[in-house]
Homo-oligomer: A and B are copies of this chain.
Amino acid sequence: MSIGTRGRGGRLAVVGLGPGGRSTCSPEVRELLRQATDRVGYATYLDLAEAIEPLTRTQAAHASDNREEAERARVALDLAAEGRDVVVVSSGDPGVFAMAAAVIEQLDVEASPTRWSSVTVTVHPGISAAQTAAARVGAPLGHDFAVISLSDNLKPWSVIERRLDATAGADLVLGLYNPRSRHRPEQFGRAVEVIARHRADATPVVLARDVGRPDEHVRVVTIGELADRDLQATVDMRTVVLVGSSQTRVVAGADGRTWTYTPRSYPSEVADPD
């Protein structure tokens, strides 16, 4: 679990807070927040950490913009190389579209400063937004699924479309991160079109915004309804979208709630849904 020798260097723990709040943050991560001399992260996630374990007078917080992942990783490694005890904070799981890869990537460049080799790095998982969203509505991720980011900041849109087509075509449940931003409002509709080629209109879709936080809002709609641009416009970067497979079912609860789940069994007669 460690990288580097245990020399004079300090520690860098990349931690996942879970969706937000003390009740879903692992005791291990909470203890690391308590022990650290320095917390490094996107300002919004440092606020989540503060709500879980308030900073003491001797602890420092280092906030950065959310798009400066590489720079944030370097700041954290430099602090640790000075002998500090550093936590790098992500919401959800740091291993899923978050800071763990950014930190390890910094150590994977030939020009990686030798002072960083004295730092002991560890990664500590957290409950992801997709898992929390799924739990709210039942068990849509109960069978094979794929998790795909729709952001084209870091990969070509053609790759995203190909992945949506391949995974929807293989009848996986889909978890979509970063589904729609102000800078690319049209691409989410395009993604819905690609997926809908492989799905019946009635296929359940979970729209989960700010899940695990005070403003949480979770709805179950259908892929057919999601062709509507006004409904698409309610989706943003703080939303996780879960799209069912051909087998995902909806259950009307006795209290009027809508539940959705994907059975573990898959009948042989729908082996090729296309």
Contact = CB atoms under 8 A, between A and B. Distances in A.
Contacts of A74: none
Nearest to A158: B271
Contact of A254 (B4, B96, B131): B4
Nearest to A92: B131
Contact of A24 (B28, B108, B134, B254): B28
A108 B249 contact: yes
Given A97-B143, A166-B169, A27 B28 contact: no
A93 interface: yes
Given A125-B131, A125-B134, A259-B3, A266 B154 contact: yes
A101 B264 contact: yes
B144 A147 contact: yes
A255 B121 CA distance: 11
A220 interface: no
Nearest to A266: B155
Given A172-B167, A271-B158, A134 B264 contact: no
Contacts of A25: 26-27
A19 B56 CA distance: 31
B4 A108 contact: no
Contacts of A265: 154-155
A229 interface: no
Interface in A121-162: 123-128, 131-132, 134-136, 138-149, 154-156, 158-159, 162
Contact of A255 (B4, B103, B264, B272): B4
Interface string A243-254: 000000101011
B26 A266 contact: no
A95 B142 contact: yes
Given A23-B27, A27-B25, A104 B261 contact: yes
Interface of A: 1-6, 18, 22-28, 31, 69, 93-98, 100-105, 107-108, 117-118, 123-128, 131-132, 134-136, 138-149, 154-156, 158-159, 162-163, 166-167, 169-172, 249, 251, 253-255, 257, 259, 261-266, 268, 271-272
- Closest 7 pairs (CB-CB, A-B): A101-B142, A155-B266, A100-B139, A166-B170, A3-B253, A117-B254, A101-B139
12 contacts: A24-B26, A100-B134, A100-B139, A100-B142, A100-B261, A104-B251, A104-B261, A105-B261, A117-B254, A123-B139, A125-B135, A128-B131
